[in-house]
Structures are given as C-alpha cells and as structure tokens.
Amino acid sequence: MDKNRKVYKKINRSGIVGTIIRVVLFSSLAGLILYFVYAEFVSYILLSKLSTEYEKAVGMAEIYDKASDTDAELFNDTEYAGTDYIIMDGSGERKYVSGEDTCGKNSYAVDNYLRPVVVYQDTKTDTINFGKRSLKINWPAFFKEMEKQNAGKFQLGFDITTDKKDRDDDDDDEDEDYGIVINEPTSEDYEKIAQLYDEDQLVAMPIWVCADANGGSEKLARRSAIYVNMKDLTIFVELYIAVGLIIFILIVSLIANAIKALIQKRRITSLFTTDAATGAKNWMYYIIKGEDLIKKRRNARVPFAIVNLCFVNYRNYCLCHSVQDGEKLLTAIYRRTVHTINPNEICARASSSNFALVLRGGSDEEIKQRLDSLIQGLSTINQPHTLTFQAGVNVLRPNTDAAGRTVRRNALNLETEYNNACSARAKLSDTDGSGVAFFDDRLVDEEKWVDIVHEKQQQALMNEEFQVYYQPKYDPRTNELKGAEALIRWASPEYGFVTPYRIIPIFEKNGFITAIDDYMITHVARHQKMWLDKGLKCVPVSVNVSRAHFADNNLAEHIRDLVDREGAPRNLIEIELTESAFFDDKRAMIETIKKLKDYGFMVSMDDFGAGYSSLNSLKDMPLDVLKLDADFFRGENAGERGEIVVSEAIKLAKSLHMKTVAEGVEEKDQVDFLAAQGCDMIQGYYFAKPMPMSDYETRMQGATA
C-alpha cells in the first residue's frame, strides 16, 4: 500500500508544477531578451542620431559666438537657415527666439556616450508620422528613461498607432503621409528632408537640443528632429515581432503540453483509483484520499465516521442472477451512496460487496440515523427484491495532547480504522438483517486478549497457574454432599484471577482445550487419591471434557491411563460431555461412552436443555447423569411452564435410569421444588459456589451443607 501511495503521489505531482516553473522561467527569460533587443536598438538609434543633432547645435552656437548680436538673419547664409532656435541665459530665461518657441521648460541631461547633452521636449508635437503610421510620444516616459543617464538603457516612450486617415491616401497626399510633422512644417522643410533622406524611410522625433554658447554663459537650443531610418525601424520591428512570435509560440506549446500532461495525469490517476468492474472509486483511492482528509490540520476537531457498508446478499444475488448483474447492482449501490454523501466525504468499493466510507460524524445517534436512511434507500434499489445492508461504524473523535489541546491525527492508519469498522459489522450476523453496529475499543481489547492467551497458555500450564476449583453437588432432601464439579481458574501472575468464560472459548478455538482437559483430569485424580489417602470420604468429581477431544478415537483409553497413573479409583471420576458433542459423530460418541463406562467411569450429559435438545439421543446413550442446564431456573423459563419441563425431564431421566443434577440453582423454593420432583443433586450458589480445593476439603469433612 505504501508503495502504491508513493507512485500515486508521484504521478499526481509530476507535470503541473514542473510546467508552471518552466513557463514562468521561460516567460521571464523571453521578457529579458525582448527588453534587451529593444534597449539595444533604442540606444543605438537614439544616441547616434542625438550626436548628429548635438553637433549641429554646437555648430550653430559657434557661429552665434562669433557674431556680434542675435540677428534673425544670422544663419541665413549657412546650412542652418530657417531653423528654429532660442538663445537662453544661464538660468534658462529666453533672450532671443527665432521661429516658433515650442521648447518645453524642463531640461534633461542625456548621457550621450562621453558627454551629457541637454535636451528639451517639444511642447507642441508629440506625434511623429512615418509611412502609414504615426508614433505618439510619451514625453515623460521618454525623458525619464533618458534621465537615467544610463547609456544603452533607453525606453522609446511612444505608442504605435495607426492613423486611419492615412490609410486611403493617394499619391497627392504624400507630403502629409511621410512628413516630419513639427509645427506645421513648410513644404521647404519636406523638400530639405527629402533631399537628405529617402522619402519613404523617415521617422522624425521633435526635440530641442542644447549647446553652450558664449563660454557657457548662454545656451542655444535648436529645434531638431531625430531621424530614424525607416529601414532600421522596419528591421527592428520585424525582429521584435519575430522574437516575440517565437517566444509566444514556445510559451503556447509549453502550456499546451502542460494541459496535455494534466489530462493524461488525470486519466492515469483515474485508472489507478477506479474499480474496473463497477466504475466505483477503489480501495487505493479510499486510503489515500481518506487519510489526506482526516489528517488535515483544519479537520483535527472534526469527528469522522469510518464505515464498512456491506451488501449482505451479494453472493446469493450473483448465484441467482449472474456476476455481471451483481456488478451492475454494485454500481447502482455505489452511485446511490455517493449521491447521498456530502462532497467532502468519501465512498469507495473496498472489496467484493463492501463499501468503505468516510463521513463527517456528528453524534453516534446522528450517524446511525444517516446510515439507517441510506440503508433504507439502498434496500429498495432493486425492486421488487428487498436487499439487506449492514454497516459497521468506527467513530474517530478528535485527538488531544496531554494539555487537552486538539492535535492533528498524524499517526492515523485508515486501514486499521477501517478494519475496526469491519469488526463492528462482524458483530451482526448475516441472518440479523439490515442494521448498523458501532465499534468500541473493547473489541480491540478482546482481540488482544485472544493473542495474549494464546501466547501464555503453554507457559501457564507448565507453571501450574491453572487451578482446579470445586463446586459441590448436594442432595436437596438430605443436604448431603453427593459430588462436585471441577472447574478451571487461571491464577495469572500478570492478569490476575481469570474465569473460564474468558479462556475456555479461546482454548476451544485454538485447540489447547485438550491439554486443559488432560490437566484437569490428572489434577482431579491426584486430589482424589490424596484425599483418600488422608482418609476422607470422597464423592465423585465430574470433569468437563470438551467436544474437540472426541476427535481422538482412543479418548476413553487416554482418560483411563491418566487416572490410573495417579492411582485414583475410576469410579470417583465422572466425565461431563456437552450436548452439542453428540451431534458430531453419534456412533463414535456412543462407543466412547460405553468404553468409559466399561472402564468404571461415570458419564454425564452437561447443559441438558440449553440450545439443541436431543431427547432422542438420550435413549441411545448409556449415560449415568443428566445435568439440567441453569437456564431452566432463570428468567422466563423459571415460571410454571419451566417447572413442567423440569419435572418431565427428571421423570424421563429416571425412567432411563439416570441421575439428575440441577445446575445454577440459587433460590430456596427452587431447591424445594426440585426435591419434590425427585431431583438427585443440586449444584448451585444456593449451596455453594466453586471453591479452591482446600475449602472443598473442609466441606468434605463436614459432608453436609
């Protein structure tokens, strides 16, 4: 199970986490690459162009320095004719303006490779056009990036928009299309630019570039445009789109892969956790999901009910119909059950017709009600047949530590808990019909006890820890001691004084009972011999011989040898057989009884009237004594009808020449009644309880009760 659990967890974990990590890493890497390409391009384009523009401003400043005043005509004869420019003093105040002043207030120092170049934004134009597109400049972002003065790390602060107006352009509007739109430039502007650059391949960004004039006491700001070659831009955009596309495709394929893996994982997990025959969740699922659920920290306070729900008539159903029909029915049962439970509860097919459930428990009463109504619903699922369902419930209460705090159920083993639920169900027998049984710790204690007894029995026998108790039998008319029954007790040094009810059934199951019977016979014979030697007046003592012992063909010889070995007279030993033993092999039984009698033992039938009555067998069995079961004198049987049966049984025994012993008699009027009916002996608390051999010895000396 642990191995399966590991495999399951591995399957569950694989795929999704790895994919998420891959996608995140890859996306970050892609982002970095894109940013890097972009930044490289911008720095290359901008800075190289800015240099050119700066050189022009410096050229103008030099001419201005040489001139005597700020004449509007100053540059007319130079290449700078018609250029807008401004002369400012050191603090940026206008001294002279030639052309239109669209120079913004704030200056920015851009670290252009070796020297800082001061630039101003253009207040009027924030859009530049090229081709069939226009760029909207985000000035603050543009300068913010520039201000970083970190060569090579610029952000081109514009958004690309498509100007609809330009779409349906014809050749006539060429000027507008490709113009460097800076304050409604004149047609000469266009011509000039057209001369310098190829018409189709221009992008211009308006900007005011500053140069020092007059040794730095004044500044000349020149309106310029940063021209970007369309080819550069196209290559860049194409490259950018291509890289972006590749990255996008890769990411999409990664995600697609992840989804595929996820679907596959689901399929595998489902195969792993589904019962093929019924489609129900299987045991594997139950254990893994169940433990996860119960062990959760937040569920530490929640009581859970572990349930074993069994469809009792499954085998019969399969016999009468077919296995396939049976499985179909199980599927229907499963579906109905799943439908009934809450989403945070679990139902799975554990084995054959057993379903394992984890329910969120309330009180025992509430759980019982829930299961009763579930069973009620299930029992009519296959009408007109009524189906029988039994449920065993093991309630898990919250765990607390020494300080009384609720703690997680980390140590939980659901398999064990489910087995406990099964033990609870096993208390109901198949013939009980539908029902619900709860597990309690005593069941575990019982199982543990069986193991302990099994482990200790041999040692206890060797150490003579088993003691013979004697319960005297008295004549009800004369109160004379007529006999006794030897009853075992276990004086265990570890477990104290243990009564036969706690060990005999275990010995009967594990076969140790034959050793016990021998032990008792041997000890009783030994005691009788000892008492005879002491000169005491001994009476027959009966010893119980278990039904299992009758499998031994030489039982009579075996008993004879045991008794003879102790040197006790055989007629002081009586063998008690239980009525049920008569059913096994009647002929062998009769043989053994006859032999025992031939050897000189007395033989009695124990517990007559309890369970199966075999009046018929009485006539074939040459028995000496009939022991009337204590049940005759208890509860409902004790009334008038009981008395009739007892008196008839005594009569019957007499006519078969058997003596009668009434067991379990506690009341005076019972004694009187039995005396009147002619019962020979009474063995009951009224006269004496089973007692240690020393007490019995004392009783023998008194001889009457």
Residues at the interface with Ca ion (CB under 5 A)? 544, 576, 606-607, 663
- Residue closer to Ca ion, measured from CB, 382 or 614: 614
Partner from ligand C2E, Ca ion, none binding residue 282, C-beta < 5-8 Å depending on class: none
Residue 500 within binding range of ligand C2E, rule CB under 6 A: yes
- Residue closer to Ca ion, measured from CB, 16 or 693: 693
Give the count of alpha carbons within 13 A of 448, CB side only.
7
The gap from C-alpha 531 to its chain's centroid, in whole angstroms, comes to 67
Partner from Ca ion, ligand C2E, none binding residue 678, C-beta < 5-8 Å depending on class: none
Partner from Ca ion, ligand C2E, none binding residue 520, C-beta < 5-8 Å depending on class: ligand C2E
Minimal distance, residue 533 CB to ligand C2E, in Å: 24
- Local structure of 316: helix, strand or coil: helix
- Judge whether 110 and 42 are in contact, CB under 8 Å: no
- Residue closer to ligand C2E, measured from CB, 420 or 604: 604
Residue 504 within binding range of ligand C2E, rule CB under 6 A: yes
- Residue closer to ligand C2E, measured from CB, 506 or 658: 506
Partner from Ca ion, ligand C2E, none binding residue 579, C-beta < 5-8 Å depending on class: none
- Residue closer to ligand C2E, measured from CB, 146 or 484: 484
> For 397, which DSSP code?
P
- Local structure of 388: helix, strand or coil: coil
> For 634, which DSSP code?
S
Residue 488 within binding range of ligand C2E, rule CB under 6 A: yes
Partner from Ca ion, ligand C2E, none binding residue 287, C-beta < 5-8 Å depending on class: none
Residue 544 within binding range of ligand C2E, rule CB under 6 A: yes
- Local structure of 63: helix, strand or coil: helix
Q: Residue 281 forms beta bridges with which residues?
A: 274
User: Cβ atoms within 10 A of the Cβ of 541, count?
Assistant: 26
- Residue closer to ligand C2E, measured from CB, 307 or 545: 545
Residue 547 within binding range of ligand C2E, rule CB under 6 A: no
Minimal distance, residue 659 CB to ligand C2E, in Å: 17
CA distance 274 to 347: 12
- Residue closer to Ca ion, measured from CB, 356 or 665: 665
Among 59, 622, 664, 678, binds ligand C2E (CB under 6 A): 664
- Residue closer to ligand C2E, measured from CB, 302 or 705: 705
Minimal distance, residue 704 CB to ligand C2E, in Å: 18
Q: Is the peptide bond before 303 cis (omega within 30 degrees of 0)?
A: no
Minimal distance, residue 629 CB to Ca ion, in Å: 6
Helix axis angle, 513-534 to 441-462, nearest 10°: 50
- Residue closer to ligand C2E, measured from CB, 238 or 666: 666
Overall residue count recorded for the chain in this entry: 705
- Residue closer to ligand C2E, measured from CB, 414 or 674: 674
Sign of CA dihedral 594, 596, 598, 603: negative
- Judge whether 180 and 189 are in contact, CB under 8 Å: yes
Among 15, 484, 690, 696, binds ligand C2E (CB under 6 A): 690
Partner from Ca ion, ligand C2E, none binding residue 420, C-beta < 5-8 Å depending on class: none
Partner from ligand C2E, Ca ion, none binding residue 487, C-beta < 5-8 Å depending on class: ligand C2E
| Alpha carbon separation from 454 to 363, 449, 450, 547 (Å, rounded) | 37, 8, 6, 19
Q: Which residues contact 154 (CB under 8 A, 6 or more apart)?
A: 39, 42, 43, 46, 47, 145, 146, 148
Among 71, 666, 667, 672, binds ligand C2E (CB under 6 A): 666
Partner from Ca ion, ligand C2E, none binding residue 193, C-beta < 5-8 Å depending on class: none
Residue/partner pairs of 450-454 with CB below 8 Å, 24 or more apart: 450/506, 452/495, 453/502, 453/503, 453/506, 453/507, 454/506, 454/510, 454/512
The gap from C-alpha 250 to its chain's centroid, in whole angstroms, comes to 38
Minimal distance, residue 634 CB to Ca ion, in Å: 13
Minimal distance, residue 607 CB to Ca ion, in Å: 4
CA distance 575 to 624: 10
Among 520, 541, 572, 649, binds ligand C2E (CB under 6 A): 520
Site for ligand C2E in 597-616 (CB under 6 A): 606-607
- Residue closer to ligand C2E, measured from CB, 504 or 652: 504
Minimal distance, residue 484 CB to ligand C2E, in Å: 11
The region of 82-90, 379-387, 555-563, 679-687 touching ligand C2E under the rule CB under 6 A is 679-687
The tokens describing 275, both together, are 């019962």
- Whose tokens are 């669209």? That residue is 102
Minimal distance, residue 683 CB to ligand C2E, in Å: 6
- Judge whether 663 and 684 are in contact, CB under 8 Å: yes
- Residue closer to ligand C2E, measured from CB, 45 or 545: 545
- Judge whether 128 and 181 are in contact, CB under 8 Å: yes
Site for ligand C2E in 70-99 (CB under 6 A): none
The region of 255-263, 342-350, 367-375, 497-505 touching ligand C2E under the rule CB under 6 A is 497-505
The tokens describing 72, both together, are 């509007």
- Residue closer to Ca ion, measured from CB, 418 or 474: 474
- Whose tokens are 């595929």? That residue is 260
- Judge whether 361 and 369 are in contact, CB under 8 Å: no
- Residue closer to Ca ion, measured from CB, 275 or 606: 606
The tokens describing 333, both together, are 């049962």
CA distance 316 to 350: 19
Site for ligand C2E in 460-479 (CB under 6 A): 471
CA distance 172 to 680: 142
Determine the size of the site formed for ligand C2E (CB under 6 A): 24
Minimal distance, residue 436 CB to ligand C2E, in Å: 32
Among 517, 574, 624, 680, binds ligand C2E (CB under 6 A): 517
Amino acid at 611: G
Q: Residue 112 forms beta bridges with which residues?
A: 115
The region of 285-293, 372-380, 403-411, 513-521 touching ligand C2E under the rule CB under 6 A is 513-521
Minimal distance, residue 401 CB to ligand C2E, in Å: 42
Site for ligand C2E in 192-231 (CB under 6 A): none
The tokens describing 462, both together, are 């060797």
Per-residue burial over 408-435, b = 16 or more CB atoms within 10 Å of its CB, e = otherwise = ebeebebeebbbbbbbbbeebeeeeebb
Site for ligand C2E in 398-457 (CB under 6 A): none
The gap from C-alpha 465 to its chain's centroid, in whole angstroms, comes to 47
CA distance 276 to 75: 94
CA distance 56 to 410: 79
Minimal distance, residue 413 CB to ligand C2E, in Å: 36
Binding site for ligand C2E (CB under 6 A): 471, 487-488, 499-501, 504, 513, 516-517, 520, 544, 546, 606-607, 630, 663-666, 683-685, 690
